[in-house]
Structure formats: structure tokens, C-alpha cells
């Protein structure tokens, strides 16, 4: 029986990527050794990194005036590195907050500058977000930061904020899930382990004019400009996670690119939300429909006493890691790019059968 990983991250890899890793593990490119054993400054690995970056640029249509970096430290590492790299000339920044990750980013950034918090979300369900007209940005700030998709509650900001300050966005959970206009952002960052591979690297896409704003205390290995000059090889890049990311990018291109992937993602999410809404006497979601996440579908049982039984039954059916975040309870189905239709079908079938038995 196939097992489907609905965890928020690390997430499942596309099956073709897993198969290729298995095939190449002991003999990458005919070298008779694993890519994990190849020096990061060898010519063959440098060439691999060039292709990895070029494939990402093609998928996201990244303009030439943006640099692409592959760094360490995860998404949370960027909570410190974004202010370190952008507040060197102007200490002010706006932070939009509507979930756990944007709150954590704000708390970290407070250590480095004059940070203004703008709360967008109400405290009780159904959760909604303030429109652009309901808040005012500081147009003279060094940047405006937000998280495009909050995984914990399954909420997505359904508009791109308007500000004269550059936009800095955490896209850790929805990068590469749909086409985006890179030109609207100053900096985008995302950990890899949801839609771009495995843990170990963080993707940073930054407009070139923002590379001159680092604070003097910024560590050299985390200085965006220094890493850009060295093409992410200022220090030892995590070679194996980069290799995996490259395979994932190739898979995305073979699948038809982000337009095709976005269409499938919308369909997967719509089917799950339809099941939840159609059985509202048994399941429910706490997010108002315009703000529901496409990547992270959260839901709850009317009878919370059945939660443990639901999880046990789901795992027996090969549906893994459906537990909600430890601070929220309930359930969360993370359905990133690699989640196939078969996984959605099996989850829907299980939810319907469970409700039928327990109503």
C-alpha cells in the first residue's frame, strides 16, 4: 500500500524524483560515487548549480536584475537575515501579522530595528484578513514583510500588499505552487522542504539594488551580496539538498510548469474543502472561504473525542501526519505540489467512511 505524507514539512517528494535519487545514489553522472561526496567547488558541481539556478529562473520567470541564492539556516534563519541584510541604511520596517510564522518573523526582526507590527487577522473564527484599505504602510520603510501562506491555521493572504517600500515575503509553504510576478517583490525567501525538495537549503531571490543595505554585524556567510558574488559558494553549500532541488525543478518543468501545477493544486484543495463543507455536521474549517490556503487544508471534528480514533484510522489507511499543529489541534492536510490525486482520493474516501461510521 502506498503511503501519503500530509505533513506540513518536510513534505513528500515526487515519486519520479525519489526513483531518480535511488538510481543515481551510488553513481552520479557516471562518476561511480554519490553526489553527496562531490566537492562543492568541483567543475562538475559548479555546472550542476548553474543548471539548478537556471531551471528555477525559468520556472518563476526571474528577471536578470534579481539574484538567486541557495543558503543555509532554513526559513526561520531568514527571520534574522532579512533585517540584517536590509536595515543597514534604514532601521524601519513594517511586518504584517496574521499567523504563527509572521509573528515569529516580527519578534526576531525587533532585535535589529524599529519594527512596526500590523495585525491583519481577527482572533476568533471564522478567520478573515483586513483588506489593504484598512491599514496604512510606512512608505519610507526599508521594506514591508509578510508571509504569503500561514501553514498552521491554513490561511493565505489573498492580495499582494501595496507599499512604496520593497516587499519582503516568506513563501516557504507556497513558492512554486503557482506563477507569480517576481517584479512586484524586493526579496522572496523560502525553505526547500515543502515544494522545492528537502531540508537543508533556503532559496533567496533578491533584487540587485537591495544588496547594498546590510548591517555591519551581518555574518559573511549570510551576507546576501557576498553570497551573490560567489554564486552561493562563499562557503560549503549543502550539496545534496541542492541536487534534490534540481531534480524537483526538472520534474516541475516536465509536468508542464507552474501554470499546470497551479491548476492541479486548486483542484486538489477545492475537492477537500468541498468534502469538509458538505459534511458540516461532522467536519468544519475555521477560515473564511476567501482566505483559505491551497497548500494547507485545516479541519476539525464536531466531536473532538473522535480525534485520536481518526488519526489511528488514517495512519492504518496510509494517510500519514494529518495531526494539526500542536498549538491548534484538529487536523491539517498539507497538499503541496508532490501530493498526487491518488492521495487526495484516498483521504476523501477515508473522511467520508469515517463520518458515515461515527455520525
CATH number, domain with residue 320: 3.90.1150.10
Q: Check which CATH number belongs to the domain holding 142 and give it.
A: 3.40.640.10
Q: 254, 285, 313 — which closes off a domain? A: 254
pLDDT the model gives residue 310: 98
Q: 203, 235, 254 — which closes off a domain? A: 254
Q: Which one of the listed residues 94, 153, 170, 174 is annotated catalytic? A: 170
Regarding whether 147 and 62 lie in a shared domain, the answer is yes
Regarding whether 139 and 215 lie in a shared domain, the answer is yes
% the chain with pLDDT above 70: 100
Q: Please name the residues in contact with 240: beta carbons below 8 A apart, sequence gap of 6 or more.
A: 35, 36, 198, 200
Q: Taking the CA of residue 78 as centre, how many other CA atoms within 13 Å lie in the half-sphere pointing to its CB?
A: 29
pLDDT, tens digit, 9 for 90 and up, residues 301-334 = 999 999 999 999 999 999 999 999 998 999 999 9
pLDDT the model gives residue 94: 99
pLDDT the model gives residue 51: 98
Q: Taking the CA of residue 54 as centre, how many other CA atoms within 13 Å lie in the half-sphere pointing to its CB?
A: 6
pLDDT the model gives residue 1: 78
Q: How far is CA 273 from CA 49, 97, 284, 299, 300, in A?
A: 39, 25, 9, 9, 12
Q: Which residue has the higher pLDDT, 359 or 272?
A: 272
Residue 28 among the catalytic residues = no
For the chain, how big is the Rg over CA atoms in Å?
Answer: 21
Integer Cα distance of 296 and 17 in angstroms: 22
Regarding whether 134 and 80 lie in a shared domain, the answer is yes
Regarding whether 331 and 219 lie in a shared domain, the answer is no
Q: Which one of the listed residues 194, 225, 251, 268 is annotated catalytic? A: 194
Q: What is the mean pLDDT of the chain?
A: 98
| Dihedral of alpha carbons 30, 31, 36, 42, sign | negative
As given in the structure block, the three cell numbers for residue 58 are 525559468
Q: Which one of the listed residues 28, 94, 101, 225 is annotated catalytic? A: 101
Look at residue 359 and tell me whether its pLDDT is greater than 90. Answer: no
Regarding whether 190 and 69 lie in a shared domain, the answer is yes
The pLDDT confidence band at residue 356, using thresholds 50, 70 and 90, is very high
pLDDT the model gives residue 346: 99
**φ, ψ dihedrals at 98, nearest 5°:** -150, 25
Question: If DSSP codes are grouped into helix, strand and coil, which group holds residue 233?
Answer: coil
Regarding whether 350 and 308 lie in a shared domain, the answer is yes
Q: Provide mean pLDDT across the span 134-149.
A: 98
Residue 10 placed within a domain: no
Q: How far is CA 40 from CA 219, 239, 249, in A?
A: 21, 7, 20
Integer Cα distance of 343 and 349 in angstroms: 10
**φ, ψ dihedrals at 351, nearest 5°:** -60, -40
Q: Provide mean pLDDT across the span 11-17.
A: 98
CA angle (69, 207, 99) in 5-degree steps: 75
Integer Cα distance of 346 and 273 in angstroms: 15
pLDDT, tens digit, 9 for 90 and up, residues 108-120 = 999 999 999 999 9
Q: 207, 231, 254 — which closes off a domain? A: 254
The domain total for the chain is 2
Residue 101 among the catalytic residues = yes
Q: Which structural domain range is residue 294 located in?
A: 256-358
Regarding whether 284 and 243 lie in a shared domain, the answer is no
Integer Cα distance of 74 and 101 in angstroms: 13
Regarding whether 247 and 164 lie in a shared domain, the answer is yes
Residue 178 placed within a domain: yes
Amino acid at each position: 500500500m502506498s503511503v501519503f505524507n500530509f505533513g506540513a514539512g518536510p513534505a513528500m517528494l515526487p515519486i519520479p524524483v525519489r526513483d531518480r535519487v535511488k538510481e543515481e545514489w551510488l553513481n552520479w553522472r557516471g562518476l561511480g560515487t554519490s553526489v553527496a561526496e562531490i566537492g562543492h567547488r568541483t567543475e562538475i558541481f559548479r555546472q550542476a548549480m548553474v543548471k539548478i539556478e537556471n531551471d528555477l529562473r525559468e520556472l518563476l520567470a526571474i528577471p536578470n536584475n534579481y539574484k538567486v541564492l541557495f543558503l543555509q539556516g532554513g526559513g526561520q534563519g531568514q527571520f534574522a537575515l532579512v533585517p540584517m541584510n536590509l536595515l543597514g541604511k534604514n532601521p524601519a520596517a513594517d511586518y504584517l501579522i496574521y499567523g504563527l510564522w509572521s509573528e515569529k518573523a516580527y519578534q526576531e526582526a525587533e532585535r535589529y530595528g524599529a519594527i512596526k507590527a500590523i495585525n491583519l487577522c481577527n482572533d476568533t473564527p471564522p478567520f478573515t484578513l483586513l483588506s489593504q484599505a484598512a491599514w496604512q504602510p510606512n512608505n519610507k520603510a526599508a521594506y514591508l514583510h509578510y508571509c504569503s501562506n500561514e501553514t498552521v491555521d491554513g490561511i493565505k493572504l489573498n492580495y499582494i500588499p501595496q507599499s512604496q517600500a520593497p516587499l519582503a515575503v516568506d513563501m516557504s509553504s507556497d513558492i512554486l505552487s503557482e506563477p507569480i510576478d517576481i517584479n512586484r517583490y524586493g526579496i522572496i525567501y523560502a525553505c526547500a522542504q515543502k515544494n522545492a525538495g528537502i531540508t537543508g537549503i533556503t532559496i533567496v531571490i533578491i533584487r540587485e539594488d537591495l544588496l547594498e543595505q546590510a548591517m555591519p554585524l551581518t555574518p559573511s556567510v549570510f551576507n546576501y551580496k557576498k553570497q551573490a558574488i560567489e554564486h552561493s559558494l562563499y562557503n560549503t553549500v549543502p550539496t545534496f539538498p541542492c541536487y534534490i532541488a534540481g531534480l524537483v525543478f526538472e520534474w516541475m518543468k516536465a509536468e508542464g510548469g507552474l501554470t499546470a501545477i497551479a491548476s492541479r493544486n486548486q483542484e486538489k484543495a477545492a475537492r477537500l474543502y468541498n468534502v469538509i463543507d458538505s459534511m458540516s455536521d461532522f467536519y468544519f474549517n475555521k477560515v473564511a472561504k476567501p482566505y483559505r490556503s491551497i497548500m494547507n487544508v485545516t479541519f476539525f471534528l464536531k466531536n473532538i473525542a473522535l480525534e485520536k480514533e481518526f488519526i489511528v484510522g488514517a495512519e492504518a489507511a496510509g494517510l500519514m501526519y494529518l495531526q494539526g499543529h500542536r498549538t491548534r489541534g484538529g487536523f491539517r492536510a498539507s497538499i503541496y505540489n508532490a501530493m498526487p490525486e491518488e492521495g487526495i482520493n484516498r483521504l476523501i474516501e477515508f473522511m467520508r467512511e469515517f463520518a458515515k461510521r461515527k455520525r
